[in-house]
Amino acid sequence: MEEEVPQAAEGLSGEDARLPEILQMLREGIYSIGCDAEHGWWATRDGVAGHRITRSAPDELGKALADDYGDGQ
């Protein structure tokens, strides 16, 4: 899980560089989160094969995770 966070911060600066870390802390143990050129911002639900959420911006991903997490409760 920790490998995705440094990768996600590439190309970000200032406060935006901390967004992957913040998102990961909020969802610790529930999602792995990252960002790359192929998928944009993504999250996979830990322990659930094939479960991937992708969005073009971190705030959109955060909203999608909140919705997804609520559905999984």
Task: Identify which of 65, 72, 70 has the alpha carbon closest to the alpha carbon of residue 31.
Answer: 65
pLDDT, position 46: 83
pLDDT, position 68: 87
Which token pair is 14? 């200032």
Phi-psi region of 20 (alpha: psi -120 to 50; beta: other; left: phi over 0): alpha
What's the mean pLDDT when you consider all of the chain? 76
Looking at the structure of the chain, the number of domains it has is 1
Top-confidence residue, 35 or 25: 35
Distance CA 71, CA 15 (A): 29
Q: Domain range for residue 39?
A: 4-71
The pTM (predicted TM-score) of the whole model is 0.62
28: pLDDT strictly greater than 50: yes
